[in-house]
Structure 1
Amino acid sequence: MKHHLIRLAAAALLASSSAYAAAPLSTIATPGYARIMLGDFEVTPLSDGTADLPMVDLLHNDKAATQAALTKAHLSTPTTTSINAFLINTGSKLILIDTGSGALFGPTLGKLTQNLKASGYQPEQIDDIFITHLHPDHVGGLMDQNKMVFPNAVVHVNQRDADYWLSEAQMKSAPASVTAFFQGAMASLPPYVKAGKLQPFNANGQIIPGVSALTSFGHTPGHTSYVVESKGKRLVVLGDLIHVASVQLDAPQVTIGFDSDGAAAAASRAKVFAQVAKENDLVAAAHLQFPGIGYLGAKGKGWTWTPANYTVRP
């Protein structure tokens, strides 16, 4: 059942490319980037767009309870879900954390590059890219029509994720429902490997000045969060430690069908959330409503979410 639901969710994303009425809809302008300062670093959340996903079925939770939580939060089913990435300007380097989905899904996604340009930067300026994990909605933006979108960037990813998602043998032994996940990684990373631009890492700790790895395995075998620090201020980029705030903040034990290891994913969420709440760190999440940046606070056995204040400016 789990793999069937994942296949349905992936099909829904792909089908969205043709799911339009004959009559044209009006164009709604939506924000594609924002700004917030972290010490001396400028942080620019970037939107890759949104996708409608059947969260009532995907979350490993009582369906009635999930529906009630979504309804309370004024969310529909399927549930509109943001895909966010984060650009860090350190003053000497431009660092991108995750790259969105590129052309791997429908027309509501793949907006990261245009929003990066709208924010005042060019893909060729990116020095380093840190990938939280190799799911298609995080690596698809690396490529555009067989060309590297970020030709001057070094790509960093946990070795465990690279070993898994770039392996033909692993793909053959995995359930058919996740074949597209392997294919997305294999379509996105090899050109960077060939160019000597992929630098996997194995442990926690600083990778480049200002950015450290924080392993948070479970969602994928090598899922990694990143700690960005400037002048004593810290931003923890969570990756996919949370997908649906209206459900998982109150019930953090709830996992999702996309998790490779649900129990490990829940344990990583508990550990990292406790750490950032205790330290009052700013956090950024890939799938919370754009711009996906704010603060976590402890509330009984769950958590609260306070969106950060931010400024839209050139």
Structure 2
Amino acid sequence: MEDLSRRGFVGTALAGMAALTAKAAAQQPAEPKAFRDPFVYRFKIGELEAFSISDCDLRLGEGLDLMWPVEERPKMKEEMVRHGERAGPLPLYVNILVVRSGSDVLLFDAGFGKGNNPKMGWLQEGLAAVGISPDQVTAGFLSHAHADHLNGFVHQGKPAFPNAVVYLLEEELAFWRADKPDFSKSKRNQNQIPGMIKEVRGHFDTLQEKLRPVKDGTEVLGGLVRIESAPGHTDGHACFRIRSGDAELLHLMDLAHHHLLMFADPNWTIAFDHDPVVAVATRKKYWTEVTGKHTRCYGFHLPWPGLGHIVTEDDGYRWATEAWAWG
């Protein structure tokens, strides 16, 4: 009996200690949970919170047949082999940049939009993962009106982000609204162009009240974003410079469609460019600037999460991916 009483006392004491420990732990502030998501990457631009959201997992089946000039394709293949790249279809990354600044949520292009293909249109799911609802997006930035950039701004015939204005360059809007948009210099499949024009105009009609066409160099949101003309891929193609304090991020948009080919030789172009000659000149201009200033960059079509720097290498350049730092 004495042994049982002793054991009962010890058990009661241990239970009391456990309760006190649990109560003390409950009173301590919870440690912030590290954010990790397989297709959403959180990072900082100065004091700004930013996210890179992957919108798809696709391949361009035409491979190097999409690249120009034709006579340079053997050299392109050599570069691919030298860097251990796969032959065949080229990867199509679609990285959506989202920036949160106080009560403002900024969206830089909107991807393909939700459709029947489960391998694309992931933006809305990514926003939900970080607690952002469509009505919380206050500003959209459209670099150009190709489907992988524009379509996600529209959902079921309505603006996908009902409280967001959408900034774009005046030249981009004018190009698609022209009687006959000029694709005479493009290597794109000409059979696809009429349907593409019709789709873009339809989306612009849906977004008409939201569109805010601006001039080159316009700064919005107190200088947080500068909208810069970077023509060639389209007439009104834009890059975006995001600033917070001393920190700067240059969004390259479609100045590069591949992490190797547009850097090893900036003269190499892709069939989707509306004016390849102008696209090359624009690319060279930016590559010269960012290597000279060591500017941090973000690429829409570069390997997710799309952050890095452009560095010189031999007679060309190289995309140097920024090391991941999960927050």
TM band (smaller chain): 0.7 to 0.9
How many residue pairs are counted as aligned between the two chains?
282
Q: Quick one: which of 113, 116, 135 aligns to 1:102?
A: 113
Three-state SS of the structure 2 residue aligned to 1:189 is helix
Quick one: which of 56, 65, 81 aligns to 2:64?
A: 56
* Deviation at residue 104 of structure 1 after TM alignment: 6.7
Instruction: Give the superposition deviation at 1:244.
Output: 1.2
Shift of 1:269: 0.6
1:170 paired with 2:170, answer no
Provide Cα deviations, 1:169-211, integer angstroms capped at 9, x if missing partner: 2259874432233233223222221xx2110012213133200
User: % of aligned pairs identical?
Assistant: 26
Task: Report the equivalent of 2:226.
Answer: 212
Q: Compared with structure 1, are the counterparts of its residues 117 and 259 closer, same or farther at alpha carbon in structure 2 (3 Å cutoff)?
A: same
Q: 1:32 aligns with which of 11, 35, 39?
A: 39
Q: What is the aligned partner in structure 1 of residue 25 from structure 2?
A: none
Q: Does 1:269 align with 2:280?
A: no
Matched residue, 1:74:
85
Q: Are 1:187 and 2:198 an aligned pair?
A: no
- 1:222 aligns to 2:233 (yes or no): no
Letter in structure 1 aligned against 2:237: H
Change (3 A) 1:152 1:275: same
Which aligned runs of 4 or more in structure 1 are off by greater than 6 angstroms? none
Q: Which of 132, 135, 140 is the aligned partner of 1:124?
A: 135
Contact 1:86–1:97 (CA<8 Å) still a contact in 2?
yes
How does 1:141-152 map onto structure 2 within 5 Å?
A: 141-152=152-163
- 8 Å contact from structure 1 (residues 166, 185) kept in 2: no
Q: Write out per-residue CA displacement over residues 79-126 of structure 1, whole angstroms, 9 at most, x where no aligned residue.
A: 221011100112241111010011478432111111111122111111
Cα-to-partner distance string for 1:48-76 (whole Å, 9 max, x where unaligned)? 11321123101104222223333333324
SS of the residue aligned with 2:257? coil
Name the SS for the 1:35 alignment partner.
strand
User: How far apart in 2 are the matches of 1:113 and 1:217?
Assistant: 29
* In structure 1, distance between residues paired with 2:123 and 2:191: 29
The alpha-carbon deviation at position 235 of structure 1 amounts to: 0.4
Residue among 203, 220, 237 paired with 2:251? 237
Cα separation, 2, equivalents of 1:216 and 1:94: 24
- Structure 1 residues 63 and 208: CA distance shift in structure 2, 3 A: same
Counterpart of 2:145 (choices 109, 134, 145) is 134
Any conservation in 2 of the 1:283–1:295 contact (CA below 8 Å)? yes
In structure 2, what is the Cα distance between the partners aligned to 1:224 and 1:308? Answer: 23
Change (3 A) 1:103 1:184: farther
Q: 1:258 to 1:43 in 2, by over 3 A?
A: same
* Distance in 2 (alpha carbons) for counterparts of 1:95 and 1:240: 19
Residues 185 and 105 of structure 1, relative CA distance in 2, 3 Å threshold? farther
- Residues 173 and 275 from structure 1, CA distance in 2 versus in 1: closer, same or farther, beyond 3 angstroms? closer
The residue type paired with residue 213 of structure 1 is: I
**How far apart are the structure 1 equivalents of 2:173 and 2:91?**
29
Aligned 8 A contact 1:36 1:310 in 2: no
* TM-score, structure 2 normalization: 0.80
| Residues in 1 aligned to 2:305 and 2:199: alpha-carbon distance in whole angstroms | 25
CA distance, structure 1, for counterparts of residue 183 and residue 283 of structure 2: 27
* 2:204 maps to amino acid: L
Letter aligned with residue 41 of structure 1: L
* Residues 104 and 184 in structure 1, CA contact (< 8 A), matched pair in contact too: no
1:128-167 Cα shifts (integer Å, max 9, x gaps): 0011111110011011221221000000011111111244
Distance 2:220 2:199 in 1: 25
Alignment of 1:238-253 (within 5 A): 238-253=252-267
Greater Rg, structure 1 or structure 2?
2
For residue 44 of structure 1, what is the aligned residue in structure 2? Answer: 51
CA distance in 1, matches of 2:150, 2:56: 14
Equivalent AA in structure 2 for residue 190 of structure 1: D
Distance 1:285 1:186 in 2: 26
